[in-house]
Every structure is written in C-alpha cells, then in structure tokens.
C-alpha cells in the first residue's frame, strides 16, 4: 500500500496562507491531486509573483516548471510551479493568456531560470511573453514558425514499406 | 471571468503549420561513384587479385566515426568496451570524419540534425560505409509519427547495413559489422 | 581586441581578434548532440551560446496521442542512462492521478530497481567525466565493468538491458526470480569494489584534484536562481533531496544520508555523486533485507484505463536532479497534456554564466560536470 495516494490537505493550507499574506490580489483557489492551484489573470500576475518571492512567510525561491497548454475553446494557458526551500511548501499558479493578443508578462527578472522555460513554452504553443529578453526558438529551428503542441498540428504517417507507395501486397489501402 | 478569446481571429482553431523552405535542407546526398586509381591503371587480369587483397585489408580495419545521437549510442559504447570488445575485429572508434571508414548512425535523426549528418557524410573520404543502428535510424522508430523526426536516415544518405533493435544488443551490432565485412568481400570490384 | 604590450620586446603592437569556435553537434565527448558556440580571446572564453533541440523527438505530443500505458515506452527513453528511474516517475504520476494502489512488495522492488539505475547512471558519469578531465579510456572501462554487471541483472529480472518497461500501472510486470537475492548481493559487493577503484583512480590522482578543485564555485543563492536541483545544488551546500523533503513511494521508511559539498565547484559535484552511490547501495541492501512477500500487481486493474478530470505535478528525485511529471487528464484514455520537467534542461540553461571567464579546456570540464543527458534536455 503506497503512502501518498490521497491528495494532501497540507497544500490547501499553503494556498490559504498566500491569501492571508497577499490579500489585495484576486485569485481563485482549487485543488489538484498534489499541489493547490491559484488561478489568476495576466494583469495581476506580476504582482503575485513579486509577492510570492519577496514575502518572508512565503519566500518561494525556486521556479520549477512552466507548462503551456492549448485548451481549445478556452485559449492558451500557462501553469507555473514554485517551491520554497525555507518553508518546504509548493504551489501551482495557472494563468490564462490575454484573450486579445495571447501574451503573458515574463518573469525572467525575478526568476532567471524562467528564460529557457518561457522560450520553450512560446514556441510549442504560440504564447508570447512580454518583456522576455531573448524570444527565439529553442528546440525547433530558428527560422520555423510552427507550434507542434497545438491540438490542430498534425502527426506524420508512418511509412509501412519504404519506396512502395501502395503498401504490402494483399492489404487494402 | 476571463472573456473567451476570439479563437477564429487568433487562428487557434484553423492553425496550419508553415514549414518554409525546409525541403531544400532535407534533399539526399549524391551517392559516391568514383573508381580507385589502381583499377584504372592495372590491366584486367591483375585487378582481381588486387581487389581481393584490398578488400580483405579494408574489412579488417574499419574505423567507425563515433556518431552517437541518442540511446543507441550507449549500447554502441558498450560494444567498444572490454566486455563485448570490438577492437579484436580491428574496429577502433575515431572521432574525426576525415580519417574514418564507417559511420554508425545510432539514434534518432531529427530534421534539425539532418544537415549536419549530410555534411559529415560528405566529409568522409571514399570508400565509406554507413551502418544504420537501431529502429530510429531505420525508419524513425518509436518516434516516427512526430513530424520533426526524419523517418529513417536513408532518406538523406545511402545505407549499407541496417541493425534492428531498440536498442540493439552489443552482439547485434557485432553481427552488423560482420555482415558489413561480408558485403565488402562480395562487392570487392565495386568498392572503388 | 587586445594589444601585445610594448614591454614584451616588439616594436609593433599585435592586434588580435576574438575567434569563434563551434563545438558542433558531433564531438568526441559523449554528451550527445549538443552544440555550443564559444567566442574566445586566446584561450579565455568571452561568450558561450548553447544550441539545443537536435534530439527533439516529441515526447509530449506523442503522449497526447497514445494510451497512458503505451506512453511509458517514450518516457523511459528520456534519461537513457537510467531507464527505470524515468519509468518509475511516470508510472507513479499516472497511479496518483487515477487513484490506483500499489502492493507493498511492488513498491520495494521499484525502489530497488530505481536505485540500481541511479548507480548505473552515476557510473557512466564517472566514466565520461574522467574522460573529459584526461584519463580517456581508463575511467570508461572501469565504469563499464560495473554497468555490464547491473545490465545482466536487469536482463535476468525484466528481460531487457536498458528499457525493460518493467513497471506497470498498478505494480510491476512479474515477480523477481528465485536467485535474485544472492545475485544482487554479489553485485553490491562488486559495486563497492568498483567505487573504491574509482576513488583511487580519480580522487587519489593529484592532477585530477588540481584541475577540479576551486574551478567554478557556485553559491546556493546563485544555484537556486538558476534553477539547479539534484547533485548540482547539493554540491553548493544545500542538502535538499526530494526523497527526504517530499517523499514518495516507501522512501520514508529507509535510512540514508544526503552528502553535500562545500563550495559548489567541479570537485564537489564529482564528490557528491560518488558519495551518493554508496548511499544508493545502502538503500538497495535495506530493500533486500526488508522485502515483504505478497503479490506484485494490483488485482483490480481496469481493462481500459480512463481517467476523469484532474491534473497533477509529481516531483521525483531523478539521477540528475528533479525529474517532474505534469499530467492533465480530461476524460478518455489519453492524457490531455503531459510535460516533463527535466533536470538537465534547467541545469544547462545556466551554461553561459558558468563558462564565461574560464579557459577552453575548463569549459569542457564544466560541461562534463553538469552531467546532462540530451534525451531529457530536448524531450
């Protein structure tokens, strides 16, 4: 029997602590299967990040991860994961990109490690990060302008037999 | 609370990828077609004996260029190590393409890496051989459906021996080298 | 541009221009297809620009288009030096998302296999790092002697050397063979002997210590700002290990220490990895001693695995740092979004700050001490 298959209520306490320490920033709290999630608008995102980093009771000093998701009708979202070495708590922040021009403010000034994470998120899904110092393609070629992780991006067909266009004999194509 | 973005105007649903002029970068190389000097100079009856001797020398001292791309490179290194020793066949890994005979393409070739593979192949002097090691170099392997992956290295360079496996065991790679040696002996008059 | 000083005895001054060197995607150090462009002034590196993406194989897109259980075949090829560590991380994330329980014997077997994979990966680091610093063939052959023994054990247990897909959602595929315990204890004693050999070969070598000590020290604040985790962070002095800080599986019941360094230089990074291997051997022995009996697979697994709405981010201690799996499910048999948080990606993003100001030969040593594996970096 494994020890940690139930969601931890300790994570909701972290979200409530953030609510009491930063009362003027509007966000919604929800649960995931591991960390708690704060959903916030892009306009307020930079002040939340500043608060998470500089507040002594929170002091989230490690940016672990940035995930960019194509949510279809709901637009493009980005999820951030932070961790604090001092207090040992973690949090997830969800930011839907601005609906007019698909931008999210960049956090490279507070967290230098966000540089490569934001470059990768931008090229995979098509987000734009405002204020990023070096917005080039990272994993794809520099001159390409495609976004592979969009749901509309197609996959290749695997080749069945090389050089034989109509497949193996006896099989309907 | 967020207003839904205008997906049509922003092109979120009708996205079509634009690959630019990528096709030019992925054209195959010309296969080498020249003849060695001794075949031009010597009379016909002496060519056969010299062919056999030269082919025997070539097959006994193949120097592969270490071109490890991905996971198959780890098994390739394991084949060079004392447990499955390839040195006893005369095979010495050599990092420079200008002084090597064989290129072992071990791992997935992506479209970003393809121009480098072509350049390295062109930098090798004749006669040169290519062993395509693993499933990814044969036809894209487990990653064949992603469109940044080249479906097999034989789309850009000519391949002599295919070694299947994911990754192939060191014994499989040794079998691939032995098959290449047999191929060199069979084709001795075409080896140029 | 620098000018040759007049005091050196020439009547004309010598103007030099910075040279650009391309350490291309194919190079003899076995770190994989990685390219960096160094701008050097003589031997001193002025600027370094890393280029990655030559092995971008589409792990995340392919995982969205396949079943949860099929996707494991791609995930264990990310960190190809320690396949089972990656399998463990992914399979634990899927189980947590779906709420599937794992029997206890399977947990012990998983931790045993993961720690043996960690030892495997670190032997490859020792071999390749020794080759970077100067002992080209010797350290490689020392490392591979032990790796082959561990690979033989994996083959006996699971069927394949590198990527056995031995872990399954709900347990492991099959039980251990009968002579496993004697075989494993033999291998542990030979691993310890191999570690002593490496200690004598590298740490006891004055040239190695002179080259590596005091090269490129990093403070804990810098490391956290750059996103370092794993042995790179522990070398700076901060003893943070996810197996102790946010434990998963049965790590809470096991006794092991976390080695840390003092100043985060290249020697400390090597020393932390070497000491970690002794601790991993301790964990393997404890797993062998305490292994319970029972079944190895959850008996109530559904035939098709469908997961309703949910998301999670699960951090695990991979061999190079924090190997995190983010999964989002929205019904159906496929994940809606899967992301790999790879430790080598974050460690490598700080390469420019690490390398600038050192000599070219030291730049190669620093790159080797980062211990990157390109399958993770390029996903």
Angle at alpha carbon of residue C286, lines to C280 and C289, rounded to 5°:
145
User: Could you read off the pLDDT of C125-140 as tens digits, one per residue?
Assistant: 999 999 888 888 888 8
Chain B contact for C77, CB < 8 A? yes
Enumerate the residues of chain C whose CB falls inside 8 A of the CB of residue A132: none
Q: Determine, yes or no, domain membership for C334.
A: yes
Residue C280: per-residue pLDDT? 93
Distance from CA of C52 to the nearest CA of B (A): 10
| Omega within 30 of 0 (cis) for the link into B167 | yes
Q: How confident is the model at residue A6 (pLDDT cuts 50, 70, 90)?
A: very low
**Among A67-76, B168-177, C261-270, whose mean pLDDT is lowest?**
A67-76
Q: How many CA atoms lie within 13 A of C276 on its CB side?
A: 34
CA dihedral B57, B125, B95, B55 (to 10 degrees): -10
Please answer yes or no on whether A141 and B22 come within 8 Å at the CB atom: yes
Enumerate the residues of chain B whose CB falls inside 8 A of the CB of residue A146: 17-19
Please answer yes or no on whether C61 and B78 come within 8 Å at the CB atom: no
Please answer yes or no on whether A154 and B12 come within 8 Å at the CB atom: no
Q: Is the pLDDT of residue C123 over 70?
A: yes
Hey, how many other C-beta atoms are within 10 angstroms of the C-beta on A6?
9
Distance from CA of C226 to the nearest CA of B (A): 26
Q: Are residues C324 and C244 in the same domain?
A: yes
Q: Is the pLDDT of residue A166 over 60?
A: no
Residue C220: per-residue pLDDT? 92
Q: How confident is the model at residue B8 (pLDDT cuts 50, 70, 90)?
A: low
Q: Is the pLDDT of residue C337 over 70?
A: yes
Q: Is the pLDDT of residue B27 over 50?
A: yes
The three-state (H, E, C) secondary structure of chain A, written as one string: CCCCCCCCCHHHHHHHHHHHHCCCCCCEEEECCCCEEEECCHHHHHHHHHHHHHCCCCCCCEEEEEEEEECHHHCEEEEEEEECCCCCCEEEEEEECCCCCCEEECCCCCCCCHHHHHHHHHHHHCCEEECCCCCCCCCCCCCCCCCCCCCCCCCCCCCCCCCCCCCCCCCCC
Please answer yes or no on whether B68 and C32 come within 8 Å at the CB atom: yes
Q: How confident is the model at residue C105 (pLDDT cuts 50, 70, 90)?
A: very high
Q: How far apart are CA C30 and CA C361, in angstroms?
A: 16
Size of interface A-B (CB pairs under 8 A): 82
**Do B65 and B94 touch, CB atoms closer than 8 A?**
yes
Q: Which residue of chain C has the CA closest to A141? A: C53
Q: How confident is the model at residue A5 (pLDDT cuts 50, 70, 90)?
A: very low
List all residues 6 or more positions away from C88 whose beta carbon is below 8 Å from its beta carbon.
C110, C113, C114, C167, C249, C316
Q: How far apart are CA A93 and CA A48, in angstroms?
A: 10
ipTM: 0.89
pTM of this structure? 0.91
Which has the closest alpha carbon to B109: B159, B166, B152, B163? B152
Enumerate the residues of chain C whose CB falls inside 8 A of the CB of residue B95: 27-28
- Return the domain boundaries, chain A: 11-146
The beta strand positions in chain C, using DSSP E, are: 19-23, 35-41, 44-51, 167-168, 171-172, 310-317, 322-329, 337-341
User: Could you read off the pLDDT of A59-95 as tens digits, one per residue?
Assistant: 898 999 999 998 888 888 999 999 999 888 899 999 9
Please answer yes or no on whether B166 and C163 come within 8 Å at the CB atom: yes
B132 vs A162, higher pLDDT:
B132
Distance from CA of C214 to the nearest CA of B (A): 31
Q: Is the pLDDT of residue C347 over 80?
A: yes
Chain C contact for A63, CB < 8 A? yes
User: Could you read off the pLDDT of B65-118 as tens digits, one per residue?
Assistant: 878 899 999 999 999 999 998 889 999 888 889 999 899 999 999 999 999 999
Please answer yes or no on whether C238 and A92 come within 8 Å at the CB atom: no
Please answer yes or no on whether C163 and B71 come within 8 Å at the CB atom: yes
Region B23-43: what's the mean pLDDT?
Answer: 77
Q: Which domain holds residue C39?
A: 6-51
Residue B13: per-residue pLDDT? 57
Domain count of chain C? 2
Q: Which residues of B90-107 are buried (b: 16+ CB within 10 A; e: fewer)?
A: ebebbeebeebbbbbbbb
User: Could you read off the pLDDT of C168-197 as tens digits, one per residue?
Assistant: 999 999 999 999 999 999 999 999 999 999
Helix H or strand E segment including C262: none
Q: Are residues C103 and C209 in the same domain?
A: yes
Residue B9: per-residue pLDDT? 56
Phi, psi of B100 (to 5 degrees): -120, 160
Q: Are residues C47 and C93 in the same domain?
A: no
Q: How far apart are CA C99 and CA C97, in angstroms?
A: 6
Chains in contact with chain A (at least 3 beta-carbon pairs closer than 8 A): B, C
Chain A contact for B111, CB < 8 A? yes
Region C229-237: what's the mean pLDDT?
Answer: 92
CATH class belonging to A11-146: alpha beta
Q: Are residues C209 and C300 in the same domain?
A: yes
Three-state secondary-structure class, residue C203: helix
Residue C195 sits in a domain whose CATH number is 1.10.645.10
B2, B28, B137: which to substitute to probe chain A, counting the most A Cβ within 10 Å?
B2
Q: How confident is the model at residue B11 (pLDDT cuts 50, 70, 90)?
A: low
Q: Is the pLDDT of residue A2 over 70?
A: no
Q: Determine, yes or no, domain membership for C224.
A: yes
Q: What is the CA radius of gyration of chain B?
A: 21
Which has the closest alpha carbon to C281: C122, C152, C44? C122
**Do B130 and B159 touch, CB atoms closer than 8 A?**
yes
Question: Any idea which residue has 């040696």 for tokens?
Answer: B181
B106, B110, B153, B171: which to substitute to probe chain C, counting the most C Cβ within 10 Å?
B110
Distance from CA of C178 to the nearest CA of A (A): 24
Three-state secondary-structure class, residue C107: helix
Q: Which residue of chain B has the CA closest to A26? A: B1
Q: Determine, yes or no, domain membership for C1.
A: no
Q: Mean pLDDT in chain C?
A: 90
Q: Are residues C10 and C95 in the same domain?
A: no
Residue B50: per-residue pLDDT? 82
**Do C83 and C117 touch, CB atoms closer than 8 A?**
yes
Phi, psi of C145 (to 5 degrees): -60, -45
User: Could you read off the pLDDT of A104-163 as tens digits, one per residue?
Assistant: 999 999 999 999 999 999 999 888 898 999 888 999 988 888 889 988 888 888 876 555
Q: How far apart are CA C161 and CA C76, in angstroms?
A: 12
Chain A contact for B60, CB < 8 A? no
Chain B contact for C357, CB < 8 A? no
Question: Kind of pairing, strands C322-329 and C337-341?
Answer: antiparallel
Region C97-119: what's the mean pLDDT?
Answer: 93
Nearest CB neighbour to C324, from listed A33, A37, A64: A64
Q: Are residues C106 and C18 in the same domain?
A: no
Q: Determine, yes or no, domain membership for C230.
A: yes
């Amino acid at each position: 029997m494994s020890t940690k298959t139930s969601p931890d209520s300790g994570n909701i306490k972290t979200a409530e602590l953030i609510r009491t320490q930063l009362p003027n920033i509007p966000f919604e709290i929800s649960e995931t299967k591991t960390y708690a999630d704060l959903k916030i608008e892009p306009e307020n995102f930079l002040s939340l990040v500043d608060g998470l980093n500089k507040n002594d009771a929170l002091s989230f000093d490690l940016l672990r991860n940035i995930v960019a998701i194509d949510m279809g009708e709901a637009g493009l979202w980005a999820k951030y994961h932070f961790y604090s070495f001092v207090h040992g708590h973690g949090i997830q922040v969800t930011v839907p990109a601005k609906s007019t021009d698909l931008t999210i403010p960049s956090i490279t000034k507070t967290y230098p490690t966000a540089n490569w994470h934001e470059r990768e998120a931008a090229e995979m899904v098509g987000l734009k990060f405002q204020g990023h110092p070096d917005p080039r393609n990272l994993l794809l070629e520099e001159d390409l302008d495609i976004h592979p992780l969009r749901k509309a991006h197609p996959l290749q067909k695997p080749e069945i037999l090389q050089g034989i266009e109509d497949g193996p004999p006896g099989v309907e194509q | 609370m967020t207003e839904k973005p205008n997906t049509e105007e922003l092109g979120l649903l009708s996205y079509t990828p634009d690959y630019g002029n990528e096709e030019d970068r992925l054209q195959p190389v010309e296969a080498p077609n020249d003849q060695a000097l001794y075949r031009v100079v010597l009379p016909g009856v002496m060519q056969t004996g010299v062919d056999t001797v030269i082919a025997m020398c070539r097959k006994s001292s193949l120097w592969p260029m270490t071109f490890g791309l991905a996971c198959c490179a780890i098994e390739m290194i394991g084949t060079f190590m004392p447990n499955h020793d390839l040195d006893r066949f005369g095979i010495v890994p050599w990092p420079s393409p200008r002084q090597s005979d064989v290129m072992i393409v071990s791992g997935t070739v992506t479209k970003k890496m393809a121009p480098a593979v072509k350049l390295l192949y062109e930098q090798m002097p004749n006669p040169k051989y290519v062993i395509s090691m693993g499933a990814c170099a044969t036809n894209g392997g487990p990653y064949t459906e992603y469109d940044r992956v080249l479906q097999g290295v034989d789309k850009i360079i000519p391949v002599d021996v295919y070694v299947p496996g994911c990754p192939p065991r060191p014994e499989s790679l040794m079998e691939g080298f032995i098959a290449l040696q047999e191929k060199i002996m069979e084709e001795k008059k075409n080896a140029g | 541009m620098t000018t040759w000083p007049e005091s050196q005895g020439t009547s004309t001054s010598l103007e030099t221009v910075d040279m650009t060197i391309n350490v291309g995607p194919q190079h003899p150090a076995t770190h994989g297809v990685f390219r960096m462009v160094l701008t050097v002034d003589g031997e001193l590196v002025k600027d370094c620009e890393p280029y990655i993406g030559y092995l971008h194989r589409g792990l995340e897109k392919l995982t969205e288009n396949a079943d949860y259980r099929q996707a494991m075949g791609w995930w264990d090829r990310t960190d190809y030096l320690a396949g089972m560590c990656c399998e463990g991380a992914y399979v634990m994330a899927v189980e947590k998302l779906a709420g599937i329980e794992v029997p206890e014997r399977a947990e012990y077997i998983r931790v045993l296999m993961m720690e043996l994979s960690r030892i495997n990966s670190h032997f490859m680091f020792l071999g390749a790092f020794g080759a970077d610093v100067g002992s080209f063939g010797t350290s490689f052959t020392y490392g591979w002697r032990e790796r082959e023994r561990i690979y033989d054990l994996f083959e006996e247990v699971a069927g394949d050397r590198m990527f056995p897909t031995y872990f399954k959602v709900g347990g492991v595929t099959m039980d251990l063979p009968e002579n496993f315990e004697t075989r494993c204890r033999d291998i542990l004693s030979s691993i310890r002997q191999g570690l002593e050999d490496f200690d004598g070969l590298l740490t006891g070598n004055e040239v190695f210590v002179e080259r590596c000590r005091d090269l490129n020290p990093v403070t804990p604040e810098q490391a956290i700002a750059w996103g370092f985790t794993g042995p790179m962070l522990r070398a700076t002095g901060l003893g943070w290990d996810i197996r102790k800080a946010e434990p998963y599986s049965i790590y809470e019941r096991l006794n092991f220490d976390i080695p840390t360094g003092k100043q985060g230089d290249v020697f400390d990074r090597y020393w932390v990895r070497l000491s970690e291997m002794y601790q991993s051997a301790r964990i393997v022995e404890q797993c062998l001693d305490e292994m319970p009996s029972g079944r190895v697979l959850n008996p109530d697994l559904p035939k098709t695995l469908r997961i309703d709405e949910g998301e999670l981010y699960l951090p695990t201690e991979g061999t190079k740092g924090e190997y995190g799996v983010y999964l989002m499910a929205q019904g159906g048999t496929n994940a809606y979004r899967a992301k790999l948080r790879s430790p080598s990606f974050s460690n490598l993003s700080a390469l420019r700050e690490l390398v600038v100001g050192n000599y070219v030969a030291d730049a190669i040593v620093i790159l080797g001490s980062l211990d990157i594996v390109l399958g993770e970096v390029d996903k």
